A = this chain, B = another copy of it.
Amino acid sequence: MAGNSFGKLFNLTTYGESHGPALGGVIDGCPSGIKLDLDEIQNELNRRKPGQSAIVTQRKEPDTVKFHSGIFEGVTTGTSIGFVIENTNQKSHDYSHIKDSYRPSHADYTYDKKYGVRDYRGGGRSSARETACRVVAGAIAKQMLKGIEIKAYVSGVGTMKLDTPYNDIDLTQVESNIVRCPDQDMAAKMETYIKEVRAKGDTVGGIVSCIIKNVPVGLGEPVFDKLHAQLGKAMLSINAVKGFEYGSGFHGSTMYGSDHNDAFNNDGTTKTNYSGGVQGGISNGMDIYFNVAFKPVATLIQKYETIDKAGNTVEMQGKGRHDPCVVPRAVPIVEAMAALVLADFYLINKLYNYQV
A residues apposed to B, CB below 8 Å: 1-6, 8-9, 11, 13-17, 20-26, 28-29, 31-34, 66, 68-70, 72, 75-82, 84, 102, 104-107, 109-111, 113-119, 124-126, 130, 144, 156, 158-159, 197, 202-207, 217-218, 220-226, 228-230, 232-234, 236-237, 242-250, 252-258, 260-268, 270, 274-276, 279-284, 291, 293-300, 302, 304-307, 311-313, 347-356
Decide if A77 touches B125 in the complex (CB within 8 Å): yes
Per a CB cutoff under 8 Å, which of B1, B80, B109 touches A8? Answer: B1
8 additional contacts (CB under 8 A) given A33-B117, A205-B253 = A15-B81, A15-B82, A17-B69, A31-B354, A33-B355, A79-B124, A204-B255, A233-B233
Interfacial chain B residues near A250, Cβ < 8 Å: 207, 242-243, 245, 250, 291, 293
Chain B: minimal CB distance from A188 (Å): 19
Bound: A305/B271 CA distance, A: 12
Are A69 and B20 in contact, CB atoms less than 8 angstroms apart?
Answer: yes
Contact, CB under 8 Å: B232 / A236: yes
- Given contacts A3-B281, A9-B351, A25-B26, is CB(A77)–CB(B119) below 8 Å? yes
Nearest CB in chain B: distance from A283 CB, A:
7
Contact indicator A229/B237 (Cβ below 8 Å)? yes
